[in-house]
Amino acid sequence: MKNIYLISINFLILFLICATNTSYPQAPVFTDRFTITPLEQTGPQYIIGDVSWNGEIHACDDIHIEANATLKLNPGCILHMLEGKKIVVKREADLLVNNAIITNDGEGLWTGIEVWGDNLLPSNSLLQGYLSISNNSEISNAECAIKATRINEQTGEGQPEYSGGLVIVSGSSLINNQKAAWFFPYSGDDDCLSTFINCLVEVNDNIIAGTTVEEFIELNAIDGVSFVDINMKDERTNISMPNKPTGIYAISSIFGVYGQNNAGPYTTSFSNLRYGIRVLGIQPTDHFTVREAAFYNNLRGIYTSATTGPQINLCYFQPWENASIWVENYGLYLDECTGYQVEENLFENNNPTTVYGNGLVINNSGTDANQIYRNTFKGLDYGIIAQNKNRHSSGLTGLCIKCNDFDNCNNDIVITTDMGDENPELGIAASQGASSSNPEDMAGNLFFIEERPDGDFDDINNEANHITYYYPLNAPGFIERLRPVDYTENTVNVEEVTVYPDWTFENGCPSNFGGGGGGGTGGGDGREELLVKIAEADQKTDSIQTILNVLVDAGNTEGLHEDVYYSTPPETMEVYTEMMNASPYLSDTVVSAAIQKEDVLIETGRLET
């Protein structure tokens, strides 16, 4: 787009008079020129107008993209940034990285990209800063590749009023950054539309020595950021698991992670990480969604604390390959959460020779009627662990564990506490299932029954308040797995019920997604809505361009440029009037021509005086 100078004609005249005055060193240098090799330079480079770069470029200092300006890195462009230097996308400015690379210049980390927004405006407002990274682009070797706010240079902290910059990363990579992206508190009228789609976030052995990576992406009090078909992994061979990073670290935020399986590789995955996703809730409304994502060889797949209504569905959890009882590990941990939906996930140790790793932990979900439904646990040390307070004092409501499938697990369901044994809220709901003829009212769990039960309570080990467990008596082909055999008889009462029709997994445990077992193809997963949001965000630039086509240089940059460039002193008033009609929307093209025509426009300054 053409740059807009929102200036009065008096300021324009003063600018033209002073443009060639070499005693004007304190003003910022607005330019679309850039050096191919480093040169001595004082101060940042300021980008105005519609600027495109090609080839290999070495920046000498910070780069500031001014309001109403666009910097485009075209296919094949490689922009090298010096250690400690940054790119600033100011409000109303755009940075478009298309099949290009931004990386360091030398051995140190550059600071990264700041995208300035307005915390009081909607995310898709034309007044927000906009960053688009697309088409096999790469951002690498930065302290933080993307920060969606303005950073105070004295304190290093984000400035809240500048949060809300719009970030769209599509079909691209964020490689070997100390942090890939950081979103700061944003409270605009609508959710943030920033999205990562079909992206790779990775650290590998080529990372700069000594770089400590704690998390790839941090969300801090922001709602609406989405991740679709994204892969996050640590491929470093010299870093032990306790020192691995977290994939997504969210504090008091609402976000979504989406992928697809469709009987093939998961399009969204988290691999070789300390935590795949770690979420800390603060507000009662804090929640998130993870759907059809895979968690490979992570110490802990997902941990969430104090969130209401998190949804983790159709996911695959593989335990850490070195999991043991000595190091806390799990696929999913719900810590003081409620209203959750955890369905049709597969927790699987796919090593056929060794049983290890833990599946799902629920701790203190409270008195609400929560449910863990239709998940599969294979080859694990512990399948489901329900800890501490997960029931009402009356026992009428609380956690219900239904329709889960356990295969070759050392312990299927464990109900435990470290709070003593007198509290009536300890344990899970008193009734697991119901005495009803409806097949769906059965507990419906399929236990791993050993050939010779050894009395270690590995079907149901209940160390808390008493429960009654209901299973169907007439379930051809399933009866031998529906009734727990090895359980704590002093705290578990097993009741058989006749249902109609005969119980099957399909009629007793119907899917809510049309699929099952950690990889269904159910619809309504929010992907279509996300793609619509992405399209709306991408239209931001097009909308700005349409407006500017009408306003800049009165809609005729080429014509006005020619009139100014070829003007002569007798045409002073005519050119002056024409520029007045286009003011304040004058492009850098026309202003540059006006500077060169000092012999014409200097008279205008005298006439105005």
Rounded Cα distance between 409 and 524, Å, is 32
pLDDT in tens, 480-489: 999 999 999 9
pLDDT in tens, 294-316: 999 999 999 999 999 999 999 99
What one-character-per-residue DSSP string does 60-89 give? Answer: SS-EEE-TT-EEEE-TT-EEEE-TT-EEEE
> Residue 87's beta-bridge partner residues?
63, 113
Quote the distance between the C-alpha of residue 419 and its chain's center.
Answer: 36
Q: Which of 52, 46, 42, 48 is nearest to 79 (CA)?
A: 52
The reported pLDDT for the residue numbered 113 is: 98
More confident residue, 529 or 501: 501
For 239-289, what is each residue's pLDDT tens digit? 999 899 999 999 999 999 999 997 779 999 999 999 999 999 999 889 999
Q: Report the percent of the chain where pLDDT is more than 70.
A: 78
Domain ranges of the chain: 1-28+535-609, 31-149+159-179
Q: Which residues contact 22 (CB under 8 A, 6 or more apart)?
A: none
Q: What are phi and psi of 607, to 5 degrees?
A: -65, -40
Which pLDDT tens digit goes with each residue over 432-476?
999 999 999 999 999 999 877 677 899 999 999 999 999 999 999
The residue among 275, 286, 281 whose CA lies nearest residue 248 is 275
Closest CA to 274 of 305, 245, 249: 245
Residue 552: its pLDDT value, please?
A: 60
Band the pLDDT of 586: cuts 50, 70, 90.
low
Sorting pLDDT into bands at 50, 70 and 90, what band is 380? very high
Residue 25 has pLDDT above 50, yes or no: no
Least confidently predicted of 219-228, 274-283, 551-560: 551-560
Cα 465 to Cα 455: distance, rounded to the nearest angstrom: 20
**pLDDT tens-digit profile of 162-184?**
999 999 999 999 999 999 999 99
Distance from C-alpha of 1 to C-alpha of 70, rounded to nearest angstrom = 7
Asked if 225 contacts 255 with a C-beta cutoff of 8 angstroms, the reply is: yes
Cα–Cα nearest to 97, from 180, 165, 171: 171
Please give the pLDDT value at position 599.
63
Verify cis geometry, omega within 30 degrees of 0, for the bond prior to 501.
yes
- Token pair for 12: 């324009």
